[in-house]
């Protein structure tokens, strides 16, 4: 493997870490209804667990209300139970195949809890990015040992990997700050 391919691979893996963190952030409830709030809800259906979006369609008819239109009437109770058990602090109400999920206003202590969870997600992303950096540095050491690159190139490329790591960690911090602002906004 040459350095250009390694750098591209590291860049891709770090970008994936950020996307994963942003996806986790989107699942944190902020007091406004968004369909991404129910993205990670898994429903016991047909003898296995499946994502909610495969059991029905989620929409936002009002700013503080989600509605789930279940495709199979027999799954309505399972969907309602899955939303209730998802630990999102939501209380769904079934009406035939339509499930209404009102979004309650956030309390001050719940905002603090959500901020802590957001920090945990951000730290997980930072750790993932640092692990990618470690793998990249190990690959550079192996390339130097195998004679593919010189010691000077190894040092130069290690510095580039560190700069890339710093850039991606700054992006994680930026996303965290935006989410914190969104959570604490009353």
Which CATH number covers residue 87? 3.30.1360.40
Local confidence band at 29 (pLDDT 50, 70, 90 cut-offs): low
122 and 147 within one domain? yes
- Per-residue pLDDT, averaged over 95-106, amounts to 85
175 and 85 within one domain? no
Local confidence band at 31 (pLDDT 50, 70, 90 cut-offs): low
Residue 56 has pLDDT above 80, yes or no: yes
Residue 10 has pLDDT above 90, yes or no: yes
Q: What is the pLDDT of residue 2?
A: 86
43 and 84 within one domain? yes
Q: Which H or E element spans position 67?
A: strand 65-70
114 and 180 within one domain? yes
98 and 112 within one domain? no
94 and 133 within one domain? no
12 and 62 within one domain? no
Query: Which domain covers residue 98, as residue numbers?
Result: 35-102
Which is nearest to 71 in space by CA: 49, 98, 34? 98
Number of separate domains in the chain: 2
Sign of the dihedral defined by the CA atoms of residues 86, 96, 106, 52, in that order: positive
DSSP state letters, 87-115: SSS---EEETTEEEEE-PPPPHHHHHHHH
At which residue do the structure tokens 């050491």 appear? 141
119 and 64 within one domain? no
115 and 155 within one domain? yes
- Per-residue pLDDT, averaged over 3-16, amounts to 92
CATH number at 18 reads 1.10.132.20
Q: What is the pLDDT of residue 163?
A: 95
67 and 11 within one domain? no
**Separation between Cα atoms, residue 32 and residue 37, nearest integer Å:** 10
Local confidence band at 182 (pLDDT 50, 70, 90 cut-offs): confident
Local confidence band at 167 (pLDDT 50, 70, 90 cut-offs): very high
């Amino acid at each position: 493997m040459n350095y250009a391919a390694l750098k591209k691979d590291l860049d891709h893996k770090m970008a994936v870490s950020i996307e994963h963190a942003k996806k986790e952030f989107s699942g944190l409830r902020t007091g406004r209804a968004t369909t991404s709030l129910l993205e990670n809800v898994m429903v016991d259906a047909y003898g296995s667990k499946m994502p909610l979006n495969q059991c029905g369609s989620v929409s936002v008819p009002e700013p503080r209300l989600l509605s789930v239109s279940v495709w199979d009437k027999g799954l309505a109770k399972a969907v309602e139970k899955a939303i209730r058990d998802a630990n999102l602090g939501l209380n769904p109400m079934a009406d035939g195949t339509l499930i209404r999920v009102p979004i309650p206003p956030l309390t001050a202590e719940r905002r603090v809890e959500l901020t802590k969870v957001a920090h945990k997600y951000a730290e997980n992303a930072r750790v993932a990015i640092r692990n990618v950096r470690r793998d990249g540095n190990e690959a550079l050491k192996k390339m130097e040992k195998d004679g593919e690159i010189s010691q000077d190139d190894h040092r130069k490329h290690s510095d580039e990997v560190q700069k890339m790591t710093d850039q991606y960690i700054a992006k994680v911090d930026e996303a965290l700050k935006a989410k914190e602002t969104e959570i604490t906004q009353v």
